[in-house]
Structure 1
């Protein structure tokens, strides 16, 4: 039976790939372009992999799935990246089961300083307010333990929660609402009024700095746990791929 985190991951990934007609980049054996092998004595062999999809108006979609039954770990991450010089946010959703607990993270990652561009804030994020506030009222959710630095590099509309199984089943609605809104932003782009004086070069430079901050073992301690699980070399490779910027 497909787990709740895997079902959410597959639903979102299939919607993105189908909407934009994307193609998977595989390794020489036709599998994930970065297979992940266990380094733990309790589990031998594959624990998942990192997948890459390209095509359409996106730069790339990267996923990372790590499943270790011996640890009761079932983790799936999706990052849908726009080109570095685009003002359209990146879309991300994580879904996890660890032991008897579930967790998820959902956001549209800002591409500009939203504290200084009210028009961008209103156009890109304000439409998500109702869905965000309703999601936070779901019974069975508990705020995830994130540092102030982690909150600072994402958006205030981010949803990051631990959840009961019953609560986790209800998050599909906000996940799809955020995704539908993001599809609309990708299709129509960001208005000149919302961008004000920002240039493509500034967007690209910020994207590089922002990715360095987000995918950083000092900022996000999850990478300190992934290293021992799949080996530090493959953990570092994942970070490097996630930090990639478009030309």
Structure 2
């Protein structure tokens, strides 16, 4: 198994073990095909539960174009203040790359107690990643960064550096699962009374998975076609 596949599978299994009510769903996207290959080029897995409302895994493996890409999004319920969790792990021929983050459910600048409870504990982990030799900035612009969190780790990596980020992924996943299990303090939730969590989540997820915002969807369309690509996006934009 490749490094990106192994990292994503380990993390997915960790989430499923920590939240055992997640149940895998049937999906017509279970086997992804492409005009580029007679064999399947990937798969989608979907799990649904309660405290973790939905987990979506998307894997694309096409050796002829040196693509080995694996993604997890774990979504909390629409009305929850607990962030979503995401991990991308990729090998693109010349380099490895990864994207690791918790996606805020409310504005951080105006809700400092929420920031401190949900994100600040990740600061030592985030800062330690800067010391990993072999990481370089990924090509992501401020428009995409603005809809994620300041604790987002998104880098290209040498093989050695990619292997070294496993402990950071584990730390983010453990912190996130703790938030899911324990919830946020009552005073923190009271401070979010000005936020329509469900409406904000709908808008943010539409932006995160927008073709206009993220150019990766154009690349996926070239591989899978527009219809299949939009079906994958539909799994990601809503828990239903």
Instruction: State the TM bucket, normalised to the shorter chain.
Output: over 0.9
Q: What stretches of structure 1 of length at least 5 have no aligned partner? A: none
1:244 match: 238
State the number of aligned residues.
239
TM-score normalized with structure 1 length: 0.93
1:191 aligns with 2:185: yes
State the Cα distance separating 1:240 from its structure 2 match.
1.1
Post-superposition Cα deviations, 1:183-216, rounded to whole Å, max 9, x if no partner, equal 1100111122223343497000000000000001
8 Å Cα contact 2:75/2:239 also seen in 1: no
Q: Where in structure 1 do 4 or more consecutive aligned residues deviate above 4 Å?
A: none
Q: Choose the corresponding residue for 1:69, options 63, 68, 73.
A: 63
In the other structure, the counterpart of 1:45 is: 39
Q: What do residues 114-168 of structure 1 show as CA deviations (whole Å, max 9, x unaligned)?
A: 0100000111111000000001221000111111111000000000000000000
Residues 75, 96 of structure 1: 8 Å contact kept: yes
Q: 1:26, CA displacement in angstroms? A: 2.4
Cα deviation 1:89-120 (Å, max 9, x = unaligned): 00000000000310000000000000100000
Partner of 1:140: 134
Counterpart residue number, 1:4: 3
SS state of the match for residue 44, structure 1? strand
Give, in angstroms, the shift of residue 50 of structure 1. 1.1
For structure 2, list consecutive stretches of 5 or more residues without a partner in the other structure: none
Between the aligned partners of 1:109 and 1:3, the Cα distance in structure 2 is 27
TM-score by length of 2: 0.96
User: Is 1:25 aligned with 2:25?
Assistant: yes
